Amino acid sequence: MHSLAVDIGGTKIAVGVCDDNDVIVRQWTVPTPGEAELIDEHIANLYLEASKSFNDIVAIGISAAGNVKEDHRTISFAANISGWVNYPLADRIEALIDHKAPVVVENDANCAGWGEFVHGAGKGHKNMVALTVGTGLGGAIVIDGELFRGSYGMAAELGHLPMVSDGDTCGCGLRGCAERYTSGNALERFARSAIRRRPQDAKRLLDMCGGDIYELRGKMVSKAAEEGDAISLYAFNKIGEWLGRTMAAISAVLDPDIYVIGGGVVAVGDILLDPARYNYSRFLQASAYRPHPPIVAATAGQDAGLIGAANLALRFYKDEYQK
Amino acid sequence: MHSLAVDIGGTKIAVGVCDDNDVIVRQWTVPTPGEAELIDEHIANLYLEASKSFNDIVAIGISAAGNVKEDHRTISFAANISGWVNYPLADRIEALIDHKAPVVVENDANCAGWGEFVHGAGKGHKNMVALTVGTGLGGAIVIDGELFRGSYGMAAELGHLPMVSDGDTCGCGLRGCAERYTSGNALERFARSAIRRRPQDAKRLLDMCGGDIYELRGKMVSKAAEEGDAISLYAFNKIGEWLGRTMAAISAVLDPDIYVIGGGVVAVGDILLDPARYNYSRFLQASAYRPHPPIVAATAGQDAGLIGAANLALRFYKDEYQK
Amino acid sequence: MHSLAVDIGGTKIAVGVCDDNDVIVRQWTVPTPGEAELIDEHIANLYLEASKSFNDIVAIGISAAGNVKEDHRTISFAANISGWVNYPLADRIEALIDHKAPVVVENDANCAGWGEFVHGAGKGHKNMVALTVGTGLGGAIVIDGELFRGSYGMAAELGHLPMVSDGDTCGCGLRGCAERYTSGNALERFARSAIRRRPQDAKRLLDMCGGDIYELRGKMVSKAAEEGDAISLYAFNKIGEWLGRTMAAISAVLDPDIYVIGGGVVAVGDILLDPARYNYSRFLQASAYRPHPPIVAATAGQDAGLIGAANLALRFYKDEYQK
Amino acid sequence: MHSLAVDIGGTKIAVGVCDDNDVIVRQWTVPTPGEAELIDEHIANLYLEASKSFNDIVAIGISAAGNVKEDHRTISFAANISGWVNYPLADRIEALIDHKAPVVVENDANCAGWGEFVHGAGKGHKNMVALTVGTGLGGAIVIDGELFRGSYGMAAELGHLPMVSDGDTCGCGLRGCAERYTSGNALERFARSAIRRRPQDAKRLLDMCGGDIYELRGKMVSKAAEEGDAISLYAFNKIGEWLGRTMAAISAVLDPDIYVIGGGVVAVGDILLDPARYNYSRFLQASAYRPHPPIVAATAGQDAGLIGAANLALRFYKDEYQK
């Protein structure tokens, strides 16, 4: 028995055929079409093609950068694909493939977090919070071993937890959202600010971005931080501080037994996680009177989202069709 | 079958004998003794006395103003009773009553919230958040019909959600906690500030507190607000604003399908709830693209905590002893 | 007796020949050259040309978008012209014109504020604070009838007064600067945020910017506000609130007897000034026990900067050469 | 020629007879009477008594904990003496002493700051800002060698500069005022918060306050900090941070050439001043492109206020009666 896992990103679609244990057995990428309808067709074709090689693909799991309704089928909206407003993605694809396999849709941060829970750093825990520190900040919550999606599929929007009253303007239209202070974008912003204020210390980073701080990218800051560059370490220290403060806020609500930190920015490891752990303790309510959960880097790798989507799809199939 | 419900407050202990449907059939109060050991004895005696009239009290439910561990038996700490640090309250009482009935201990805000869920405004919902606006701000979370207590009994400390970076100093040692902005204390503080700044408008409140603003109490502000007093309405508007902002933050994590607002301060009804609803919408992420849960006043009354404790105790008894 | 006034902007240089009463008698603009040295030559040529028509130009006043040292001659740095770091602008120009006329350099917001003080809305007052709400937020301070420049020419950088701890990231490298909350840029940002959150109310503004909110300009928001557009009025209300809060902060230091608000954004008049006045009162310390200075729109017009520069240059000439 | 200097505090009145150079030649204290009228009589009697020993007391300088109008004679209001609302203090005293000497009234922080400027750490400077870190935070501004009092006597209320939007509630009725973050009260508050959060490190301070953190006083924290106590050093580090941030905000307005820090809290010297200097640099706009003024401890001692009042009174006498 196999599943087809699809991760729809802004520029490319990652595809994987997974076996019964969510191991990816074949994997490739295709460009993301610009329109919602073309995406449907694309995925339908991916399924039909893959079915020629794997005749037992029983379910399709889709990881999408958007808010997914509680039905696991409809995208309520997405920042980057304009057609995706109350869009019946699962219905559309299932119709195109003559209902040969059920489609399960889930938010990308939820898929990645779930991948970590079933096959990565969260395995064996009960209540997990996963934070994906990428361009923005994504969140996933597992409660009592189940992915928690809220009443309307809007739970775990942890990047939009308000951290600063009247704070930094967020793309969502609010102010002070966590992802303005801890994310890849925030990393670049802290680095840029420091370069402006301490140009005398900024040689390494200015070299890397060719002297134009608007060309500075998170990966440059990561590389320089690993070399010991002072401004880059400062910038990681700041997003680490806010990552810790954000987790302390989450613990006031959820009190999880593990935090798993994923996303490209965590590649620097303890350069990010140490200030996060330190500030988690500083800003945790009743810090001295409670256990502190481990704060660890994700281990399921870049494909955590595909793995999570595959697992969700197969679980759905087994629950609905095999009982 | 009956249960004994006990609500241990700072100055008095409320006691109720409840029937199988959590209806309180007899109810009284006694003063709270000053020391932890005396409290144990007191509660044991309450049980022994009550058992003379009710020979089928099968469980004792205790609502306590403190943090209760995941075992439902041990108080990890409490701000007001100094002996309650890692205190085995259930063990102690069970020993004193020769293990005739099991003791279930739960945090008071959780008991009140649970009371609302089983017999009050939260009934029939799936994911409820209850906020108790009393002296401080307490929280309770119900997920999928079950009280959610977190991994170490520290979930739902919603009064300590950080709302303002570098904000008002909280008794917990942190800054900017929600209860500094929305609670009975916050109500008094907002009113006091306004009196200082607009003495010309403060006649009513100054009369009520005998000219000494440190003698101003929340109940005076409530009464004056209901009379239409401008400064009192301003103060309710402010704690209502922050109540709404706090719920918007909670929705970024939990996405519940109802908010139930209890506690003495909510007696003014929409004077508090209307600004809370308005600001919930203003500060909710993706406000235009999602359902808004109802925000309603609690209905189980002052005894919600007793009712909740009784229900938890009886549920425990049925699960453990009747299966 | 005449002066030559020069206002060096990012894209064009405004030039005026002014008479003894700072009345502009001839006026034109030229493009700004890209390099610092070319600017020197340009201004020298402007003087030599103008001198053919006016043989009594006794001084040159320069308004520059940069920080000017206490010597009134050297630019310590400027955000937009990279060569202007410790740049001896007055020395350079005086050398190029064979020292035929002295050159006085002043920061552009200071020139505009001084223009308002000598010939505009500040006339007759003693302690004036002028705020220029343009792309950013500029400030000028007059104390006891004299332009106050501080010990090192860095006074009155009022756009960088910190208003929000951990607030919006400023181009200067700090966070929470006033100009992030009250300026033309802030106006666009508040409007953009509101469009995202209330797309159903945004028809007028979306029409104006062709559906792309990054093409939204302050002038569109001004026009729509004057038509009564709700989102535009909201955005003005917000920058007005912060303008009032910024002035309240300034009053804690300076206690001026008038605030003059200039810059392109103030063209909407009371749409901006009413919320500014209201919030000034709300956030002013000891509001009920002190006189409130008038908060008025600038009246010297777009050329306030030229007029101010002309006046400063002529005053310098009279003080130094005619005594 | 002598002056009489009087410093009216909440519990005692300090009195000094000063010679022509503002040297105190006789000094004593008396209790402060509870009512405004009794204070008038008291000071008149002090003058009459002192005149028996010194027959050339030509002026009386009064330092008062309240806001003094621009006339140097009337108290517009005072937080601690309820009768002092628009109170003609100088008129009253002059009438009681048959107009034998003029009375000059000035705010206490202004007197202390002026004392530092004429005979202390500010001597020889041009633009000085003095901050008195006592129970609260007082300010004084000297511009171009003159005490700057603003248009209505309300300048230099630097303790009420807003530093945090929605911040700590201030006794003045506003939020986020500087003195809530840097003052003797703030020191106690930071220490208390740290004790709550890190009880294991709090032995020294808990011993000092007898186990009751509400009995903790600033002097205890100072003593413990000098012994190296970790929590006390943390508390000084925090008020030092905010002192630096407050000065950075002031520099955006005033750009002074020296900061003089007085008041009882500064007795610990660099324990306070080092974090203040460090954070001044971190939060100063254009930090890398401007001179940084020295930040020094006051040197005129506890009597700076008397010395300043004496000097102001004598200057007034010389200006008005000897020209």
Write the pLDDT tens digit of every residue in B119-143: 999 999 999 999 999 999 999 999 9
- pLDDT at A35 (0 to 100): 86
- On whether residue C118 sits in a domain, the answer given is no
Residue B40 sits in the same domain as residue B168: no
Beta bridge mates, D295: D259
A 195-224 near C (Cβ less than 8 A): 195-197
> Residue C299: is it exposed, middle or buried by C-beta count within 10 angstroms (0-12/13-18/19+)?
middle
Contact B262, B133 (CB under 8 A): yes
- pLDDT at B203 (0 to 100): 97
Place of tokens 């050469």: C321
Find the mean pLDDT for residues D80-94.
Answer: 92
Closest CA to A102 of A141, A66, A43, A61: A61
* Nearest chain A residue to C214, by CA: A171
Would you state the structure tokens that stand for residue C269, as one six-digit string? 């008049």
Q: Taking 90 as the threshold, does the pLDDT of residue A63 lie above it?
A: yes
Q: How would DSSP label each residue in D266-317?
A: GGGTHHHHHHHHHHHHHHSTTGGGSPPPPEEE--S-TTHHHHHHHHHHHHHH
D82 — pLDDT class (breaks 50, 70, 90): confident
D36 — pLDDT class (breaks 50, 70, 90): confident
- pLDDT at A191 (0 to 100): 98
Place of tokens 């750490």: D121
Q: Do D164 and B169 touch (CB under 8 A)?
A: no
D224 — pLDDT class (breaks 50, 70, 90): very high
Q: Taking 90 as the threshold, does the pLDDT of residue B316 lie above it?
A: yes
* C221 Cβ neighbours under 8 A, 6+ residues apart: C187, C188, C191, C205, C232, C235, C236
DSSP, collapsed to helix, strand or coil, labels residue D80 as coil
Axis-axis angle for helices B218-227, B230-254 (nearest 10): 110
Q: Taking 90 as the threshold, does the pLDDT of residue A83 lie above it?
A: no
- On whether residue D270 sits in a domain, the answer given is yes
* Nearest chain D residue to B163, by CA: D166
Q: Do D199 and A287 touch (CB under 8 A)?
A: no
Q: Do C165 and D160 touch (CB under 8 A)?
A: no
- On whether residue B120 sits in a domain, the answer given is no
The chain-wide mean pLDDT, for chain C, equals 96
* B45 Cβ neighbours under 8 A, 6+ residues apart: none
Find the mean pLDDT for residues D125-141.
Answer: 97
D 147-186 near C (Cβ less than 8 A): 148-158, 160-165, 167, 172, 174, 176-177
Question: Which of D156, D286, D289 is opposite residue C253, by nearest beta carbon?
Answer: D156
**B-contacting chains (≥3 CB pairs under 8 Å):** A, C, D
- pLDDT at D34 (0 to 100): 80
Residue B108 sits in the same domain as residue B213: no
Q: Taking 80 as the threshold, does the pLDDT of residue B199 lie above it?
A: yes
- On whether residue A118 sits in a domain, the answer given is no
Calpha distance C155→D274 (Å, rounded): 24
- pLDDT at D70 (0 to 100): 93
Dihedral angle of Cα C20, C25, C26, C32, to the nearest 10 degrees: 50
Residue A131 sits in the same domain as residue A220: yes
Q: Taking 80 as the threshold, does the pLDDT of residue B57 lie above it?
A: yes
Find the mean pLDDT for residues C53-66.
Answer: 96
The CA–CA distances, whole Å, from C150 to C211, D127, D276 equal 46, 7, 21
Q: Do B254 and A289 touch (CB under 8 A)?
A: no
Residue B222 sits in the same domain as residue B103: no
* Chain D residues within 8 A of A288 when measuring between CB atoms: 197-200
Calpha distance C317→C323 (Å, rounded): 9
Q: Do C173 and A194 touch (CB under 8 A)?
A: yes
Q: Do A150 and B76 touch (CB under 8 A)?
A: no
Beta bridge mates, B132: B138, B262
The CA–CA distances, whole Å, from B275 to A97, A143, B231 equal 50, 32, 15
Residue D273 sits in the same domain as residue D144: yes
Would you state the structure tokens that stand for residue A229, as one six-digit string? 């560059």
Question: Which of B163, B168, B172 is opposite residue D168, by nearest beta carbon?
Answer: B168
Calpha distance B239→C106 (Å, rounded): 48
Closest CA to C163 of D167, D240, B180: D167
User: Cα distance from A248 to chain D (closest Cα, Å)?
Assistant: 14
Q: Do C289 and D157 touch (CB under 8 A)?
A: no
Would you state the structure tokens that stand for residue A55, as one six-digit string? 């005749």
Q: Return the H-helix or E-strand segment holding B40.
A: helix B36-53
- On whether residue D118 sits in a domain, the answer given is no
Find the mean pLDDT for residues B149-174.
Answer: 96
**Gyration radius from chain C CA atoms:** 20
Q: Do C253 and D254 touch (CB under 8 A)?
A: yes
- Give C246-284 pLDDT, tens digit per residue: 999 999 999 999 999 999 999 999 999 999 999 999 999
B66: CATH? 3.30.420.40
Find the mean pLDDT for residues B68-89.
Answer: 91
- pLDDT at C25 (0 to 100): 97
> Residue B200: is it exposed, middle or buried by C-beta count within 10 angstroms (0-12/13-18/19+)?
exposed
What residues make up the domain containing D143? 125-297
User: Cα distance from D39 to chain C (closest Cα, Å)?
Assistant: 22
* Nearest chain B residue to A175, by CA: B283
Place of tokens 């500010």: D122
- Give D171-216 pLDDT, tens digit per residue: 999 999 999 999 999 999 999 999 999 999 999 999 999 999 999 9
Q: Is A292 on the interface with C (CB under 8 A)?
A: no
Contact A130, A260 (CB under 8 A): yes
Q: Taking 90 as the threshold, does the pLDDT of residue B99 lie above it?
A: yes
Residue B34 sits in the same domain as residue B165: no
- Give D274-317 pLDDT, tens digit per residue: 999 999 999 999 999 999 999 999 999 899 999 999 999 999 99
* Chain B residues within 8 A of A162 when measuring between CB atoms: 163, 245, 248-249, 252, 283
- pLDDT at C222 (0 to 100): 98
Residue B102 sits in the same domain as residue B188: no
With a pLDDT cut of 70, the percent of chain B lying above it is 100
Residue A166 sits in the same domain as residue A21: no
- On whether residue D280 sits in a domain, the answer given is yes
Residue D91 sits in the same domain as residue D137: no
B36 — pLDDT class (breaks 50, 70, 90): confident
Cite the DSSP H helix spans in A102-183.
Answer: 108-119
Q: Do C197 and B288 touch (CB under 8 A)?
A: yes
Closest CA to C159 of C23, C61, C64, C67: C67
The chain-wide mean pLDDT, for chain D, equals 96
Neighbours of A301 (CB within 10 A): 13
Question: Which of C148, C161, C289 is opposite residue D143, by nearest beta carbon?
Answer: C148
**How many residues does this entry show for chain D?**
323
Q: Taking 80 as the threshold, does the pLDDT of residue C323 lie above it?
A: no
Calpha distance A119→C204 (Å, rounded): 50
The CA–CA distances, whole Å, from D113 to C65, D8, D140, D141, D270 equal 35, 16, 5, 7, 20
With a pLDDT cut of 90, the percent of chain A lying above it is 92
The DSSP 8-state label assigned to residue D177 in this structure reads: B
Residue C128 sits in the same domain as residue C70: no
- On whether residue D47 sits in a domain, the answer given is yes
Contact D92, D35 (CB under 8 A): no
- Give A129-142 pLDDT, tens digit per residue: 999 999 999 999 99
- pLDDT at A34 (0 to 100): 80
User: Cα distance from D152 to chain C (closest Cα, Å)?
Assistant: 7
Q: Do C283 and D174 touch (CB under 8 A)?
A: yes
Q: Do C151 and D245 touch (CB under 8 A)?
A: no
User: Cα distance from C259 to chain A (closest Cα, Å)?
Assistant: 25
The CA–CA distances, whole Å, from B98 to B44, B72, B104 equal 10, 19, 16
A 106-135 near B (Cβ less than 8 A): 126-127
- pLDDT at B321 (0 to 100): 85
State the total domains in chain C.
2
Beta bridge mates, C105: C62
- pLDDT at B89 (0 to 100): 97
Residue B195 sits in the same domain as residue B58: no
C244 — pLDDT class (breaks 50, 70, 90): very high
C11 — pLDDT class (breaks 50, 70, 90): confident
Would you state the structure tokens that stand for residue B241, as one six-digit string? 């604003």
Q: Do C158 and D252 touch (CB under 8 A)?
A: yes
* Chain B residues within 8 A of A289 when measuring between CB atoms: 67, 76-77, 85
ipTM for the predicted complex: 0.96
> CB contacts < 8 Å between A and B, how many?
133
* Chain D residues within 8 A of B194 when measuring between CB atoms: 173
Contact C188, C231 (CB under 8 A): no
- On whether residue C205 sits in a domain, the answer given is yes
Residue A261 sits in the same domain as residue A306: no
Q: Is A66 on the interface with B (CB under 8 A)?
A: no
- pLDDT at C258 (0 to 100): 98
Find the mean pLDDT for residues B103-111.
Answer: 97
Calpha distance B121→D266 (Å, rounded): 56
Q: Taking 80 as the threshold, does the pLDDT of residue C28 lie above it?
A: yes
